[in-house]
Chain A
């Protein structure tokens, strides 16, 4: 492959958000020919049609086995495709599997040209995982907030407390019992429902 040739990259991912994060990163890094396949249907035919140099796929995608067939049916592809990392590159494989990304690269494509693609994908997969994590945390924080507010309302009504007093009571109970304030709040709600 000539040095100035454009590297064609296909992203196979059912998550549109992660695919967008990857696509954006690859474009910023100067890879212009990036396509995204979200539909697993007829995957091989679509990949053959695009004829990419690199296929990036989520490790937990069941269609990975389908891609492995590309090693085998070279009759159908013009060039054999092999996993990027060669045998000596165990660290890269580890990093890529840890991040949840798997990449398949046309055999013969220079490793120096592929390395930045793979590194970028790994860091973007990690970024996506952090994003997911934050989202989960935000979600559960919101849930906790709701529970605490409800419990506060119950205390205010039952014990004729102000909002601040209700909160302080829950907080000091949580500290004394070494529990999370949300757990105390949940017990108040449960108890109130049982005593209805």
Chain B
């Protein structure tokens, strides 16, 4: 094995947990690895430093790994993801004013994304009649699950995300401020930022994204394909260390929360982190709570094993919203980013983790996802990018 430090970039978010715990709890050291974690401020920075080799590995948005491999939006660097650091974990929060407006239009259960999406369509139409500015939604990156989750949800209710509202990128630490001062009316972001907005009384959690999609690959452990080829043993050791860390987190959430809370790691209160790991979040300042076993999966339900169906679904969203052209080659490239074979090789023969989601995605509306027929699948959705 190697004494060389492994330089790994991360963004201070709860779903960097497996990497942080692997480093700080000694699992990496037991694998003979010397992890040096670098806290970063933007996904562009993580991607660029990974792509040019300043980092050996990174905590990366799953769609960024795919976009990098396809050469979308930036230079083309093939990336492989042998480990999924998190499945789900985002939430959509809205300002109290937008929440009131949505509830006034709501016909049905506020936890039903179709009901809230239709209410959103009614609010959007009313604002247009009154000649008011379109609603603005914050998300974290053009190639992000947050972007696709917001779009999937609102389009289901008849809201065209490119015509009827504004979607803007905001660095996660700026989300809460932007909601407070009215620059955005809502946002979709990972933990801890929704909880921070709730605790300040300036936002309400409208949905966990697991209510929109039962399983959505959120962050991956990303390495350059060339690096993976040159360092198979180091990579396998890294996957094992992350795997042990993920299992530790699921079994020892309190201690994991304390580790993540350190100022040089995620740097928010351990209590807020624990809420996220438990999937039991305060959704309003008055103390109302919503729970989901699936709020954030770190290792449970086979979450850590990369699933190429997830990569295909993310690529399909890029096609749906005009970021990518549909081609068999691009689909194959996208799917090849997620590498269950590397995961299996690192961990030895293990039983394939099972979950009960029929198509691996579990969207709240639309047909089951079929990676073999993306064009046909997308045809079932009325709203999509015209130029795509």
Chain A residues close to B by CB (< 8 Å): 40, 42, 44, 59-69, 71-72, 75, 83, 85-87, 90, 93-94, 97, 102
For the complex formed, measure the closest distance between the CB of B56 and the CB atoms of chain A, giving whole angstroms: 15
- Partner of B169 from the list A61, A68, A86 (CB cut-off 8 Å) is A68
Find the A residue at minimum CB distance from B43.
A65
Q: Quick check: B44 and A68 within 8 Å, CB to CB?
A: yes
* CA distance in complex: A67, B44 (Å): 9
- Partner of A66 from the list B49, B74, B169, B173 (CB cut-off 8 Å) is B169
Chain B residues close to A by CB (< 8 Å): 41-45, 48-49, 52, 54, 71, 73-76, 140-142, 162, 168-171, 173-174, 183, 323
For the complex formed, measure the closest distance between the CB of B47 and the CB atoms of chain A, giving whole angstroms: 9
For the complex formed, measure the closest distance between the CB of B48 and the CB atoms of chain A, giving whole angstroms: 6
Q: Quick check: A68 and B48 within 8 Å, CB to CB?
A: no
* CA distance in complex: A40, B42 (Å): 14
- Partner of B52 from the list A68, A86, A90 (CB cut-off 8 Å) is A90
- Please name all residues of chain B whose beta carbon is closer than 8 Å to the beta carbon of A61 when the two chains form the complex: 41-42
Find the A residue at minimum CB distance from B174.
A62
For the complex formed, measure the closest distance between the CB of A105 and the CB atoms of chain B, giving whole angstroms: 13
* CA distance in complex: A62, B175 (Å): 12
Q: Quick check: B73 and A44 within 8 Å, CB to CB?
A: no
Q: Quick check: A68 and B73 within 8 Å, CB to CB?
A: yes
- Please name all residues of chain A whose beta carbon is closer than 8 Å to the beta carbon of B142 when the two chains form the complex: 68-69, 71-72
- The interface centre, meaning the residue of B42, B43, B173 with most chain A CB atoms within 10 A of its CB, is B42
- Partner of B141 from the list A40, A68, A90, A94 (CB cut-off 8 Å) is A68
* CA distance in complex: A72, B74 (Å): 11
Given the known interface contacts A72-B142, A97-B49, the answer about A65 and B44 at a Cβ–Cβ threshold of 8 Å is yes
Is chain B's binding surface mostly helix, strand, loop or mixed? Answer: loop
* CA distance in complex: A66, B171 (Å): 7
- Partner of B75 from the list A40, A60, A71, A93 (CB cut-off 8 Å) is A93
* CA distance in complex: A46, B53 (Å): 33
- Please name all residues of chain B whose beta carbon is closer than 8 Å to the beta carbon of A40 when the two chains form the complex: 174
Q: Quick check: B75 and A65 within 8 Å, CB to CB?
A: no
Q: Quick check: B75 and A85 within 8 Å, CB to CB?
A: yes
* CA distance in complex: A54, B180 (Å): 32
- Please name all residues of chain B whose beta carbon is closer than 8 Å to the beta carbon of A68 when the two chains form the complex: 43-44, 73-74, 141-142, 169
- Please name all residues of chain B whose beta carbon is closer than 8 Å to the beta carbon of A94 when the two chains form the complex: 52
- Please name all residues of chain A whose beta carbon is closer than 8 Å to the beta carbon of B48 when the two chains form the complex: 59, 93, 97, 102
- Please name all residues of chain A whose beta carbon is closer than 8 Å to the beta carbon of B45 when the two chains form the complex: 59-60, 64
- Partner of A44 from the list B43, B52, B74, B168 (CB cut-off 8 Å) is B168
Given the known interface contacts A65-B43, A65-B44, A97-B54, the answer about A83 and B168 at a Cβ–Cβ threshold of 8 Å is no
Find the B residue at minimum CB distance from A94.
B52
* CA distance in complex: A53, B307 (Å): 41
* CA distance in complex: A62, B49 (Å): 14
* CA distance in complex: A66, B162 (Å): 17
Find the B residue at minimum CB distance from A67.
B44
For the complex formed, measure the closest distance between the CB of A96 and the CB atoms of chain B, giving whole angstroms: 9
* CA distance in complex: A61, B75 (Å): 20
Find the B residue at minimum CB distance from A89.
B75
* CA distance in complex: A97, B48 (Å): 8
- Please name all residues of chain B whose beta carbon is closer than 8 Å to the beta carbon of A90 when the two chains form the complex: 52, 75
Given the known interface contacts A87-B71, A87-B76, the answer about A69 and B169 at a Cβ–Cβ threshold of 8 Å is yes
Find the B residue at minimum CB distance from A65.
B42
* CA distance in complex: A68, B44 (Å): 8
